[in-house]
Structure 1
Amino acid sequence: MPSSNTQQGNPKLRPRHDVSFYLALIFVVVPLWSTVPFAWAFVIYSLYTGRLWAYTWQGKCFFIVTLAEVFFSVYHYQLARFVAAQPPLPPGALHELRIAHSRVLKSGLASLPEDGFDEETTDSSRPCSPAEDITQLTHDDPRAVDFREVLRTWFGHAPWSEIRAVEVKRWLYWAIFNSHLPEPEKIPSSHHAVLDEALDLLQKRAGVVIPEGSAPMYRPLLLTLDQVTIHWRPFAFYAAVGLTNRLLKAWLQRYRQVQFVVHDGLDFLLRRPINWSPTHGPPPIVFIHGLGLGQLQYHLFITRLLDEFPDRPILILLQPHISQDIFHPRFLTPMSRHETSTRLAALLTKLGWVATDDVAAADSDDDDDAKSIATSLMDTGARGITMLSHSNGSYCHAWMLKMYPEMVSRSCFVDPVTFCSWEGDVCYNFIYRPCRTGIELLMRYFVAAELGVANLLQRHFDWSSNALWYEEIPNARDPNKTFFLIAAKDEIVNSKRVERYLRLHGVRKPLRVDPDGHHGTALIAGGAGHAAIFEWLREAD
């Protein structure tokens, strides 16, 4: 009873798999995937033949376990159908989308040499693209060539000569209105005007007129509209992850004096030193994790964080919808940008970690844990927080910088996916790209195609909200205030493009590229990236 749909894509030659792909497939993915059909086969066989009543107590226990897997697979299948059938989110405010679209087209538009920006002498706080006008480029202009190469990603890296206007309009209509392109006569006149304007600007930026017609074999990637890819996994897997995370939570509460608190719908771990002062103490650290297994995946890093800074308040925002916590009440209802940001801002205000008049601390009459942490009033001398995010956590980090930049005094981005997300590499690499290596297969099966993750990325993704621009980062070129850690061998992020984007905007000293790093290795002790994170965090003491 599979819950996987075939992903929309372009006709390509099948990738050459290396040895690690087959090892991961044979020894990890297939055994776990086959648990569900095996459970069905055993239950049906036991009931059909009547052998169930002849089993020993061990056999009957095994039958109960497999029966639980059968029931859970039906439950999982129904959830997968629910996710696949969800209507797309309504589009954002049109003026915001137009601004975002304009920023995409202006990105990299300034004619600056890649090593020509001097952060020590520039008079411009926002160099490069923000001030540029979108004008008609020539076909051979390097900026147009680069833009066309980037745009190909949204069409599965199709040859540029094969891309046609209908498919480009479909992609633009999705990006603006989060909807399928209707028949020409059914497009509202207001939408027609916006679409025509967007296409005209895109063609100027690309330096070409896109040929009319359609090439259906090179369909655009419409992330929130395409069929959802979900691969089943057994109840035992979810149970093991959930139990482990709860044990790790209990361990942190007992041995690291950490509180687990649910406040206004946010789950988080909190450690507050008794003698810490918001006016004289080091700034609190807020850590936002990425996709995966939740605490199980980040436990060693969190423990190191707690041990390394015993005198600093630390808050770890937990996100059950991307942590495979399938029985959490909000597993399939992730909070939006505005919900997450306003509630987190209210929480930080209530804790006395930030000083602002713009956020009203949210109260919950039936949340005793939330009330217990609100023992101190907001101190106007609070100096703000240090926000540390990893991978998908950089989206939430971006939301806070967009809405409450005054609260974040220092920012640390590790393996960020929020930069250059408009270029499509993260989307293609994580969800659409055919797997070639073992690590790509494992990331696809265990993370990208997991129910909660697929629901978030393929039904609740808002690209304009999730994209963070240089001009939205306070003190982006100050190495004491901001730190970017990028893995040169990142399997998901196009690290060269992200590095180029930041460097063209004058980011030099705050930027660190780990030449041997992969996505996530900076969180593992012993590496250069891991050491760099804690070295930068210690600078605030």
Structure 2
Amino acid sequence: MIGISTPEYVFIRASIISIRAIAPLSILYCGFCIIHPPHSIFSKVVLAWAAIESAFYFLLYLPRKRFLQRPARHPELLSYEDRQELFQRACKTIPNPEYYLSKWFLGAPLEEIKRENVKDFFRWAFLNTGDFDISDNEELEGYTDGVERLLGRKIEPGRGKAKCLRLTVDEVGMMHRPFVWYMIVGVVDTLTAAYLRYNSFTLYRTPMRHWLGVFPFRNCSLFTRRISPAPNISYWYRPHTSKTRLPILFIHGISIGLYSYAQFLAEITKEDALEADDGQTGIIALEIMPISFRLTQPTLDKAETCRQINAILKAHGWNKVVLATHSYGSVISTHLLQTPSTAPKLGPILLIDPVTFLLHLPDVAYNFTARKPRQANEHQLYYFASKDMMVAHTLSRHFFWSQNILWKEDIKSRDVTVSLGGRDLIVDTETVGRYLAGVDLKYEGVSWKGADWVGQGLDVLWFPTCDHAQAFERKAERKRLVDVVRAYSRGRDVEDLP
């Protein structure tokens, strides 16, 4: 993640404008060449590229965009009792009710958020629908009364002009990526694959019949005979030979695959030199293609994701692992914790920049999908991540907050470390940190940020100057994460952990 300086702002804005200009300029050039056919070799080469970009836009992007607007298939509705319990838990962890309401309504003036507007929001949030049904009115009135108690005031009757954010009901917001962008992604993927192979990782690809289902096509898949036992999930594998340590399962976030994490994974392996007599620590690093800036099949649902990950662990005989995840990977970790077949296989857990704690608050959904970017890092997130075709579809049609939310109670019997950045542009890390530390959510002190890492129970690592994902980019912070994973693998504390 880039910073917020003026040069970085100029760079990222120029990059985005240049990339977005490719398709319209290509279409115009093709039209011009119909009238004035090119004669020079250079002009013909440019025309060939422009024709590819134009075809890519009209024949792939536009039809696929329409296809991906299909309604979400929501999970089974929670029972009435479970919905009431979830609502009460959420109400107890809303530090600023006015802010909560305003942000879920996209920053609308509070006087425009009236009773019917609030019921629209809860119709989506708790009933998984945007459709009116008179039989739901009594329950929705109860939720609205609950918000009034939080606000300490009445909400005006009727309907105002405010529109709420309804992630899995609203239109999937995406922006076109030119053909050349995907070629860049392919080059980065190939270089990442070479780096991982150099560091003793082996790719377990999906069956070759799926090769054409991922674009850009993956060159690395052509150079391995190893086939993943999970038909939709490829992964990089380092054998586990240690007799005393636990292997590691890593799940990445929204990125060009494992590119942002390759150095982190390599540094875990380099620490093995200190324990050569015991063998090496095994690592499985999953590849989640729908959040890797590719054109591919939609993301798997919760049950199928857990089933396929369990198949991978079974294939390698891993009955207990250290789980490390970043950002969106915390969603999958939540699903693994909730699934009886996988939960017992999870040992200690490291959650880096998790998005699942206090997910009922508006920050993650608003900041990732609805915020109008202003600073350089916000523009980078908005265009290159939020508006990517498959990332947008994953968040708008497969991201169900009530299914993805993780409470402290869900991990109270486990050893868990949560890493938070003080300048995170997606997560309200101040509130999440206070929640995890067990202090009042309105508490303004900083004492909880300096707590020592213990390695037992719930630990919070606070990186005050890190933005989202920047802990992987900085040597000192990355080393602390590596130390935590290694300590969990060894099953004992790290005495020299800063």
User: Shorter-chain TM-score: what band?
Assistant: 0.7 to 0.9
Q: Which residue of the partner structure matches residue 417 of structure 2?
A: 483
1:474, 1:349 → 2: CA distance? 26
Read off the aligned partner of 2:183 and give its amino acid letter.
A
Alpha-carbon contact 1:90-1:177 (below 8 Å) kept: no
Read off the aligned partner of 2:254 and give its amino acid letter.
L
RMSD, aligned α-carbons: 2.5
1:20, 1:168 → 2: CA distance? 42
Post-superposition offset of 1:89: 2.0
Alpha-carbon contact 1:405-1:474 (below 8 Å) kept: no
Alignment counterpart, residue 267 of structure 1, candidates 234, 256, 262? 234
Q: Which residue of the partner structure matches residue 175 of structure 2?
A: 231
Q: Which residue of the partner structure matches residue 497 of structure 1?
A: 431
Q: Which residue of the partner structure matches residue 85 of structure 2?
A: 102
1:466-496 CA distance string (max 9 Å, x none): 11111111535xxxx2111100110111111
Post-superposition offset of 1:286: 0.7
* 2:197 is the counterpart of 1:253: yes
**Does 342-351 or 408-417 show the bigger shift?**
342-351
Structure 1: 5+ residue stretches without partners: 1-16, 110-128, 130-142, 355-383
Read off the aligned partner of 1:317 and give its amino acid letter.
L
- The verdict on how the C-alpha distance between 1:237 and 1:432 changes in structure 2, with shifts beyond 3 A counting, is same
Post-superposition offset of 1:207: 3.6
Q: Which residue of the partner structure matches residue 29 of structure 1?
A: 16
1:32-90 CA distance string (max 9 Å, x none): 110111111111111222x23x222x332222122111111121122112112x11323
1:168, 1:282 → 2: CA distance? 51
- The verdict on how the C-alpha distance between 1:47 and 1:245 changes in structure 2, with shifts beyond 3 A counting, is same
Q: Which residue of the partner structure matches residue 299 of structure 2?
A: 334
Q: Which residue of the partner structure matches residue 456 of structure 2?
A: none
3-state SS, counterpart of residue 324 of structure 2 = strand
1:207, 1:200 → 2: CA distance? 10
Alignment counterpart, residue 299 of structure 1, candidates 262, 277, 280? 262
Structure 2: 5+ residue stretches without partners: 206-227, 274-279, 441-447, 454-458, 491-498
Alpha-carbon contact 1:163-1:215 (below 8 Å) kept: yes
Q: Which residue of the partner structure matches residue 216 of structure 2?
A: none
Q: Which residue of the partner structure matches residue 286 of structure 1?
A: 249
- The verdict on how the C-alpha distance between 1:155 and 1:101 changes in structure 2, with shifts beyond 3 A counting, is farther
1:474, 1:407 → 2: CA distance? 16
Q: What is the total number of aligned residue pairs between the two structures? A: 439
Alpha-carbon contact 1:253-1:260 (below 8 Å) kept: no
Alignment counterpart, residue 319 of structure 1, candidates 288, 307, 329? 288
Alpha-carbon contact 1:288-1:318 (below 8 Å) kept: yes
Q: Which residue of the partner structure matches residue 209 of structure 2?
A: none
Post-superposition offset of 1:156: 2.0
2:101, 2:359 → 1: CA distance? 12
* 2:481 is the counterpart of 1:514: no
1:512, 1:64 → 2: CA distance? 52
Post-superposition offset of 1:333: 1.4
Q: Which residue of the partner structure matches residue 154 of structure 1?
A: 104
Alignment counterpart, residue 445 of structure 1, candidates 379, 383, 386? 383
Alignment counterpart, residue 424 of structure 1, candidates 362, 386, 394? 362
3-state SS, counterpart of residue 235 of structure 2 = strand
Alpha-carbon contact 1:288-1:393 (below 8 Å) kept: yes
3-state SS, counterpart of residue 475 of structure 2 = coil
3-state SS, counterpart of residue 429 of structure 1 = helix
Q: Which residue of the partner structure matches residue 163 of structure 2?
A: 219
Post-superposition offset of 1:287: 0.7
Alpha-carbon contact 1:21-1:436 (below 8 Å) kept: no
Alpha-carbon contact 1:420-1:498 (below 8 Å) kept: yes
1:255-309 CA distance string (max 9 Å, x none): 5142324322221111104x33xxx331111111101211333322232233334
Q: TM-score, normalised by structure 2?
A: 0.82
Q: Which residue of the partner structure matches residue 83 of structure 1?
A: 68
Q: Percent identity between the aligned chains?
A: 24
1:151-192 CA distance string (max 9 Å, x none): 32201233444421111000000112322142xxxx152x33
* 2:126 is the counterpart of 1:176: yes
Q: Which residue of the partner structure matches residue 534 of structure 1?
A: 482
- The verdict on how the C-alpha distance between 1:100 and 1:399 changes in structure 2, with shifts beyond 3 A counting, is farther
Q: Which residue of the partner structure matches residue 523 of structure 1?
A: 472
Q: Which residue of the partner structure matches residue 217 of structure 2?
A: none
1:302, 1:151 → 2: CA distance? 40
Q: Which residue of the partner structure matches residue 11 of structure 1?
A: none
Alignment counterpart, residue 473 of structure 1, candidates 402, 411, 420? 411
**Does 308-317 or 391-400 show the bigger shift?**
308-317
Alpha-carbon contact 1:33-1:234 (below 8 Å) kept: yes
